[in-house]
């Protein structure tokens, strides 16, 4: 893959997933990312034992790997003058400074825009926040399950009237990972702008803004119609019979999304083994089909119930309409399209323990990015300090005094 970010140096002061995953994407694309970690405990993610749905394996902290692959790690005490001096000296060598610290924390640590730009006027300063940089909640922390999922309307957009509670997010770091891609794109835009104009910009992305953007089409419709977005009731009459999810005889599900039912109806009937429905006067024209959509949907439903998922895979393979098997996270890894396009990467820890990660969703020159492992805590600390010109006696002294790990 063309390393489009090669030569770009990123300095990260961030924890958990939302912001760190952004620089992990940049690392996938060739950037050098220096991760500053708490001098004693490291990134708070290192101590996270559970994703909320399952206890992680003992050998590989896959959530840490997802958001920190390909980086260099330095344990540094930012509350000390010596630690700050190291940070500023690093900032002077970097193109991007990336943080998820709250405004009050940035001020306290002296790592806000003014301080970092004093060390490097040309650096791009990037802030990832929960609710945005301005407003009454700017200095309040959050998580994707709150700002992205709940506050942005995503959760209520999934709740039906008969649900007692809105559903939880479908996966750990769901909004974080989408937000990270947004931050990465924002950084690349800022780098392009600096190259063209010489101007270093400040980039802001919040989980709330990403959630609102994700719900953008629904939000626009809600405002136009004057009512909140919500899924249809479970007993709502069917719409287009070729835009629906159907169950197979072995309990699997297949989803159809043929937005032009008149175009695909006759072919679908042939594939489904109900050719007589194609010439049935009730469904002969698209207006007839939509007027009798309840009956048509029932025919399609019964057809799908007559065969297994594997049988339908074979029969639908030549169908020109749009469809997909409803897959789980294990199945998607072996999906032929996943394999052919390299959407999941084989990795290994520093001790050689194998694991797999989703690759960066953007590919250059038709090649997937190879995800590298996350660093051990302070794995590159000594080398980073030596590259700054610190001699070994100075480094040892900083270690003894707890300034560096």
Same domain (yes/no): 271, 197: no
Same domain (yes/no): 93, 189: yes
Tens digit of each residue's pLDDT (9 = 90 or more) over 276-324 = 999 999 998 999 999 999 999 999 999 999 999 999 999 999 999 999 9
* Predicted structure pTM score: 0.94
- Considering the domain boundaries, does residue 228 fall inside one? no
Grade residue 55 by pLDDT with cuts at 50, 70 and 90: low
Domain containing 261 — which CATH number?
A: 3.30.1540.10
Same domain (yes/no): 182, 302: no
Which are the contacts of 223, defined by CB distance < 8 A and separation ≥ 6?
none
- The CA distance from 35 to 24, in Å, is 10
- Considering the domain boundaries, does residue 83 fall inside one? yes
Same domain (yes/no): 210, 312: no
- The CA distance from 259 to 321, in Å, is 9
Average pLDDT, the chain: 96
Same domain (yes/no): 394, 267: no
Tens digit of each residue's pLDDT (9 = 90 or more) over 231-250 = 998 888 888 999 999 999 99
pLDDT of amino acid 234: 87
- Considering the domain boundaries, does residue 223 fall inside one? no
Q: Total structural domains in the chain?
A: 2
pLDDT of amino acid 393: 97
Same domain (yes/no): 260, 362: no
Same domain (yes/no): 191, 320: no
Domain boundary among 325, 359, 374: 325
3 state DSSP class of 318: coil
Grade residue 50 by pLDDT with cuts at 50, 70 and 90: low
Same domain (yes/no): 160, 201: yes
Grade residue 385 by pLDDT with cuts at 50, 70 and 90: very high
Q: Going along 221-338, which residue ranges are E strands?
A: 243-247, 253-257, 323-325
Residue whose entry in the numeric block shows the structure tokens 């698209």: 286
Residue 147: pLDDT above 70? yes
Domain that holds residue 285: 243-325
pLDDT of amino acid 53: 47
3 state DSSP class of 190: helix
**Do 162 and 134 touch, CB atoms closer than 8 A?**
no
Same domain (yes/no): 143, 292: no
Same domain (yes/no): 314, 352: no
3 state DSSP class of 170: coil
3 state DSSP class of 125: strand
Domain boundary among 269, 297, 325: 325
Domain containing 97 — which CATH number?
A: 3.40.50.10540
- Considering the domain boundaries, does residue 230 fall inside one? no
- Considering the domain boundaries, does residue 229 fall inside one? no
What is the percent of the chain where pLDDT is above 70? 98
Tens digit of each residue's pLDDT (9 = 90 or more) over 85-133 = 999 999 999 999 999 999 999 999 999 999 999 999 999 999 999 999 9
Same domain (yes/no): 121, 173: yes
Same domain (yes/no): 307, 165: no
- Considering the domain boundaries, does residue 332 fall inside one? no
Residue 59: pLDDT above 90? no
Domain boundary among 325, 357, 392: 325
Tens digit of each residue's pLDDT (9 = 90 or more) over 262-277 = 999 999 999 999 999 9
- Considering the domain boundaries, does residue 188 fall inside one? yes
């Amino acid at each position: 893959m063309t390393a489009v970010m090669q030569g770009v140096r990123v300095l990260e002061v961030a924890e958990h997933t939302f912001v760190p995953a952004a620089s992990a994407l940049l690392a996938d694309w060739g950037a050098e990312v220096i991760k500053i970690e708490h001098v004693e405990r490291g990134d708070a993610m290192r101590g996270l034992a559970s994703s909320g749905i399952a206890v992680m394996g003992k050998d590989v902290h896959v959530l840490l790997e997802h958001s920190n692959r390909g980086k260099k790690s330095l344990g540094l005490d930012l509350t000390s003058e010596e630690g700050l001096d190291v940070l500023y000296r690093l900032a002077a060598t970097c193109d991007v400074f990336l943080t998820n610290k709250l405004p009050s924390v940035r001020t306290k640590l002296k790592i806000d825009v003014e301080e970092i730009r004093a060390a490097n006027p040309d650096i791009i300063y990037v802030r990832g926040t929960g609710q945005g940089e301005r407003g009454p909640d700017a200095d309040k922390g959050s998580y994707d399950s709150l700002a992205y999922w709940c506050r942005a309307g995503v959760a209520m957009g999934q709740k039906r009237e008969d649900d007692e509670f809105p559903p939880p997010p479908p996966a750990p770091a769901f909004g974080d990972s989408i937000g990270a891609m947004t931050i990465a794109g924002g950084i690349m835009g800022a780098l392009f702008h600096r190259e063209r104009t010489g101007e270093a910009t400040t980039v802001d992305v919040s989980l709330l803004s990403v959630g609102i953007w994700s719900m953008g089409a629904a939000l626009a419709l809600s405002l136009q119609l004057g009512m909140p977005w919500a899924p249809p009731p479970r007993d709502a009459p069917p719409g287009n019979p070729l835009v629906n999810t159907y169950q197979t005889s072995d309990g699997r599900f297949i989803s159809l999304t043929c937005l032009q039912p008149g175009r695909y109806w006759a072919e679908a009937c042939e594939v489904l083994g109900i050719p007589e429905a194609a010439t049935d006067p009730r469904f002969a024209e698209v207006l007839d089909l939509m007027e009798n959509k309840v009956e048509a949907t029932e025919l399609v439903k019964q057809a799908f119930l007559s065969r297994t998922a594997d049988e339908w895979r074979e029969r639908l393979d030549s169908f020109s309409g749009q469809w997909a098997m409803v897959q789980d996270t294990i199945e998607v890894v072996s999906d032929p399209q996943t394999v052919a396009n390299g959407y999941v990467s084989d990795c290994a820890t520093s001790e050689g323990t194998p694991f797999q990660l989703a690759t960066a969703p953007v590919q250059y020159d038709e090649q997937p990015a190879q995800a590298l492992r996350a660093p051990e805590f302070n794995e590159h600390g000594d080398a980073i300090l030596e590259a700054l010109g610190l001699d070994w006696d100075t480094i040892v002294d900083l270690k003894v005094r707890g300034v560096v790990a």
